[in-house]
Amino acid sequence: MNWKDIEHQMYTMCMVADGDKILLMNRPKHKGAPGFIAPGGKVEFPESITDAAIREVLEETGLHVKNIVFKGWDEYVNPQEKVRYIVFNYLADSFEGTLLADPPEGELQWVSRKDAMELPMQDWFKRKLPLFFKEGTFEIHSEWEAEQELEGDSKTRIFLKSEGRVGRIENSPAVKRDSPSC
């Protein structure tokens, strides 16, 4: 298949951390992907991917992030519709500003990293949340079966700088999940 026949959509996500707390938004169901999630959204042409992550955090939270570090990417491939969604993930541990009083994507909450995993969130976000805080860079690759509303086999890789190779690969079986809409 020619790569030009595949639609590519690019998104960003930026985990904002302040010590042992992280900033999450409780996204309402009518916005898609309900539950707690980190700020992020579409990369607008012709902006850079990192600039998109910084912009999305500002638009959704009111915070100007600094010290932003690339942590990895996840992609959702839909072979039936010939679409590849790629999310570039960042971690920011420094910021300026105050949280928006009326954020556009959902209520903002500072949550301890330990308690965050107990909050209601999409499975795909719960899977990658701990990866923001692990050493190395991560890759998550999943196939999406739109007709069956099923996320097919998923593969997670962690690339460790010190070893110069893939450190671990985890495979997940197919499970029915909500669509990975960003």
The pLDDT, as a whole number, for residue 165 is 54
The amino acid that residue 57 corresponds to is: V
Beta bridge partners of 40: 13
The rounded distance, in Å, linking the Cα atoms of 140 and 33 is 18
Give the residue, 168 or 77, on which the prediction is more confident.
Answer: 77
The pLDDT, as a whole number, for residue 180 is 52
* Burial readout 20-42 (b: 16 or more C-beta within 10 A, e: otherwise): ebbbbbbbeeeeebbbbbbbbbe
The pLDDT, as a whole number, for residue 75 is 94
Q: Where are the domains of the chain?
A: 3-133
pLDDT (tens digit per residue) in 108-148: 999 999 999 999 999 889 999 999 999 999 999 999 877 76
The pLDDT, as a whole number, for residue 120 is 97
pLDDT (tens digit per residue) in 22-69: 999 999 998 888 899 999 999 999 999 999 999 999 999 999 999 999
The pLDDT, as a whole number, for residue 161 is 67
The pLDDT, as a whole number, for residue 130 is 96
The DSSP H or E segment spanning 55 is helix 49-61
Q: If pLDDT is split at 50, 70 and 90, which confidence band does 171 have?
A: low
Given the DSSP bridges, would you call strands 107-112 and 21-27 parallel, antiparallel or unpaired? antiparallel
Domain boundaries 3-133, CATH class: alpha beta
The rounded distance, in Å, linking the Cα atoms of 132 and 124 is 13
CA-wise closest residue to 180 among 110, 126, 114, 108: 126
The pLDDT, as a whole number, for residue 154 is 85
The DSSP H or E segment spanning 72 is strand 64-78
The pLDDT, as a whole number, for residue 1 is 74
The pLDDT, as a whole number, for residue 174 is 46
pLDDT (tens digit per residue) in 5-28: 999 999 999 999 999 999 999 999
CA-wise closest residue to 144 among 77, 73, 89, 72: 77
pLDDT of 176 over the 50 cut: no
**pTM for this prediction:** 0.87
* Burial readout 98-109 (b: 16 or more C-beta within 10 A, e: otherwise): eeeeebebbebe
